[in-house]
Amino acid sequence: MGNLQQQRRNFLRRSAAAAGLALLGSNSFSQHYLPGPPPPPPANPRIRFSVININHNHIYGMVDAVTRGGGLLVAFYAKEPALVAEFSARYPNAKLARSKEEILEDNSLQVILSSGIPVERAPLGIEVMRHGKDFLVDKPGITELDQLAAVRKVQKETGRIYSILFSERHENKATVRAGELIRQGAIGRVLQTVGLGPHRINIPTRPDWFFHRKNFGGILTDIGSHQFDQFLHFTGSTEATIVAAQTGNLHHPQYPNMQDFGDVMIRGNKGTGYIRVDWFTPDALGSWGDGRLTILGTDGYIEVRKNIDIAGPAGGNHLYLVNHKETRFIDCNNDTLPFGSLFVDDVLNRTETAMSQQHCFLATELALLAQQQAVSITDKIAK
């Protein structure tokens, strides 16, 4: 009994601390997305890269990933003075370009990164590829099916890389470890993934474009894209069908053009999946979202608590493994993130070790199809 009481006291202390952190950060969009201190620029750069458009703070994790992989950030361009100031403060050695054309026409660059307004990402990527450069973009990398067709056409014509950094997999150490364990046979053959992607909405910090679906493609296209990527990656599926999908605006009638809830059932040729995404993370949680991934195998299962475990150890990157031999918690915080190095390898060697082009486009296509096929439940749920 004493041990249970102590566990309860520890849980309440952690919860109180998490609530304090959440409230302190609730007015700052940056505080929920900025990673730790930036890695130092490489002494012997393997590639040179620049940034065009920084409308989402995921760009900081993207820049840091490529820097860890041996890339040198050369320059950046953005139209918004506040975003320019914040980016310059973090990367003071990066030159502010006068225009995007200045960057596109710099023949010393191999790669362009972007986290612009989502609907503008695919057209920019097409420009980048036509200028003979590879493109790494924040999710959603493409917001409409006709954009996807255009991107596929130009990518095939140019042979350039059009890659999307799915940070919930590529930049989460516990999710990376889950893949390693599965390759080792820890849970047998994967049967299903369940991906939960709750997010805090932080209305006061959101720009106007955030509330208009045409700008981000809808909730399944946007934050749901992470889950489609993980479904394909962990099941190994190369084909998939949307079984059912639904979306809705269940609690924000003042923003009729946004969606705050969506879920999907999906069936692939090597497994099934369920996806739920929403904008309902409460302010007291000490993270922007309690992201979870459960991977069911024939011989066990893995649960990843990506950002927080409210009843467990502090911080994120928690992995739980259960199979016929053991039930084990694995702290993955000291693991390495391979995406940046693999991506730079691919740029230099014209390989597909970080993520295949086919996978990137299929994950995007599934998200777009789910969004297109989703039944609206906005007016079907009692308020």
Mean of per-residue pLDDT scores for the chain: 92
* pLDDT for res 35: 66
pLDDT one-digit tens code per residue, 188-223:
999 999 999 999 999 999 999 999 999 999 999 999
- pLDDT (tens digit per residue) in 88-118: 999 999 999 999 999 999 999 999 999 999 9
Q: Quick check: helix, strand or coil at residue 128?
A: helix
Q: What confidence tens digit (pLDDT) does each residue in 213-267 have?
A: 999 999 999 999 999 999 999 999 999 999 999 999 999 999 999 999 999 999 9
Classify residue 166 by burial, with Cβ atoms within 10 Å: 0-12, 13-18, 19+: buried
Question: Span 4-25, mean pLDDT?
Answer: 40
Compute the distance between CA of residue 142 and CA of residue 129 in angstroms, rounded to an integer: 15
Identify the weakest region by mean pLDDT among 15-24, 145-154, 355-364: 15-24
Give, in order, the Cα–Cα distances in Å from 374 to each of 44, 229, 261, 267, 303.
49, 18, 11, 15, 27
Check residue 20 and give its pLDDT.
39
190: Cα separation from own chain's centroid? 22
Digit-coded pLDDT (tens) for 177-187:
999 999 999 99
Task: Report the CATH architecture of 169-338+370-376.
Answer: 2-Layer Sandwich (3.30)
CATH architecture of 33-165: 3-Layer(aba) Sandwich (3.40)
Q: Where in the sequence of the chain do the CATH 3.30.360.10 domains occur?
A: 169-338+370-376
With beta carbons less than 8 A apart as the criterion, state whether 213 and 257 touch. yes
> pTM, whole model, 2 decimals?
0.91
- DSSP conformational letter for 282: -
Q: What is the band of 34 on the pLDDT scale with cuts at 50, 70, 90?
A: low
CB-count exposure of residue 9 (10 Å: 0-12, 13-18, 19+): exposed
Cis amide prior to 140 (ω within 30 degrees): yes
Residues 298-339: tens digit of each pLDDT = 999 999 999 999 998 999 999 999 999 999 999 999 999 999
> What's the pLDDT score for residue 33?
54
Q: What is the DSSP string of 190-214?
A: EEEEEEEEE----GGG--GGGG-HH
> Which residues of the chain does CATH 3.40.50.720 include?
33-165
Max distance between CA atoms of the chain, in angstroms, equals 69
Kindly tell me the number of DSSP H helices and DSSP E strands found in the chain.
12, 15
366-378 as b/e: b if 16+ CB within 10 A: bbbbbbeebeebb
Which 8-state DSSP code applies to residue 87? H
- pLDDT higher than 70, residue 31: no
Strand partners, 122: none
